[in-house]
Amino acid sequence: MPITKHSSPTTHHSSLLTSHTRVVMVHPFFPENVGAAARAMKNCGLKRLILVGGIAPDHPNCLKLAVGSEEILEKAEIVETLDEALEGVSLTFASTSHAYRNFRPLPPREAAALASSQNGEVALVFGNEKNGLKKREIALCHQMIQIPSAVLDASLNLSQAIMICAYEWQNVGLPPGGEVGLSDLASESDLSRVKKGLNSLLEKTNFYAPHHAERNRSVLNRVLTRVRLDDGEAKIFMSLVERLKWALDQAAEQSV
């Protein structure tokens, strides 16, 4: 979304957010939804579309609904896994209609406000039309988005959900209190190093009981994803891991 000399602070803030946000569609079934999503993105200033498998963006039915937004489909990226799609992302939102015990979902407007308060790459992740996102895919995300509805068994069309989120991303204002201090959140690659390092350390100390190992690893990874470490905190965690590993190695050598 272009910024003119008459732009308000809200317009400036939302343009920064939309320019750093990618829309990720995981295994979409219907090409019409991909085309309609591209059109919604174009109208709200979002430009980067990533498809995790599923429909090819040059499918004729994609182009049929992507009126005026063909460029987004032409530049759409295709990857094999969600991990690839989230590479370099600092804050990830999973859109879902389901409730999960360890996550408190945010409505799109609150999610947009949260996203606008940091300066890293942001991802909006949407599952397919039939099954949505899997638990493993949601576990890769920092926050959940849930679109409020007047009925309990609400089910929005995929492209409609993308349109609603894109609209809130376009119209996000400054968080309460005016300008905020922007923090550099840890990248996905750094966060992954922290998770691997801590898990390796805990395995080395036999922390994980065999019958609960997978569940405990999953809990630790989920917590580390949810707390959204910044760059400095990630470095501290990695230094801690390296120091404890060194201490364990020293203790092992002395006991020989």
Give the DSSP per-residue string, 93-113.
Answer: EEE-SS--TT---B-HHHHHH
Question: Do residues 38 and 69 touch, judged by C-beta distance below 8 A?
Answer: yes
Is domain 188-254 classified as CATH 3.30.70?
Answer: no
Separation CA 202–CA 221 (nearest Å): 12
What is the pTM for the complete model shown? 0.67
pLDDT in tens, the chain (256 residues): 343 333 444 444 456 788 899 999 999 999 999 999 999 999 999 999 999 998 899 999 999 999 999 999 999 999 999 999 999 998 999 998 876 666 678 999 999 988 988 778 999 999 998 889 998 999 899 999 998 877 666 677 899 999 999 999 998 854 444 443 345 677 778 888 888 888 888 888 888 777 778 888 888 887 887 777 778 888 888 888 888 888 888 777 777 6
Residue range 9-171, CATH number: 3.40.1280.10
% of the chain residues with pLDDT over 90: 42
Query: Do 9-171 and 188-254 come out as alike in CATH topology?
Result: no
Phi, psi dihedral angles at 104 (to 5 degrees): -105, 110
Residue ranges of domains in the chain? 9-171, 188-254
